[in-house]
């Protein structure tokens, strides 16, 4: 049985926007919007970007960069753990 999506209204850049969202994902949507809104404000304060569209793009690029850095770190950590496991596991027959 599939859940029905709710129409969720959020405020981004001082404007209301509606999105379809699964009921169990509403809090995550609100948190994501709050993060994006904060990042847009940071971009406005740290740079000469003043128009909403460019500030939003710059914030999105920064978030994508952060995500890529976290994914690379996660991959490195997974490889490190795998190497440690390989060192701990004795070969069969020993």
Question: Model-level pTM?
Answer: 0.75
Segment 28-54 mean pLDDT: 90
Query: What is the mean pLDDT of the segment spanning 28-56?
Result: 90
- The CATH architecture to which 6-88 belongs is 2-Layer Sandwich (3.30)
Give the pLDDT band of residue 58 (cuts 50, 70, 90): very high
pLDDT digits (tens, 9 = 90+) for 77-94: 999 999 999 888 866 555
Q: What is the mean pLDDT of residues 11-16?
A: 91
- Of 91 and 26, which is predicted with more confidence? 26
Distance of alpha carbon 20 from alpha carbon 29, whole angstroms: 10
Residues 32 and 21: beta-carbon distance below 8 Å: no
């Amino acid at each position: 049985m599939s859940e029905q999506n709710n129409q969720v209204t959020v405020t981004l850049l001082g404007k209301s926007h509606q999105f379809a969202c699964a009921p169990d994902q509403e809090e995550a949507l609100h948190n994501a919007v709050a993060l994006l809104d904060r990042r847009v404000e940071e971009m406005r304060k740290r740079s000469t970007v003043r128009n909403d569209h460019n500030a939003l793009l710059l914030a999105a690029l920064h978030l994508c960069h952060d995500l890529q850095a976290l994914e690379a770190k996660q991959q490195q950590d997974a490889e490190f753990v795998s190497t440690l496991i390989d060192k701990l596991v004795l070969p069969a027959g020993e």
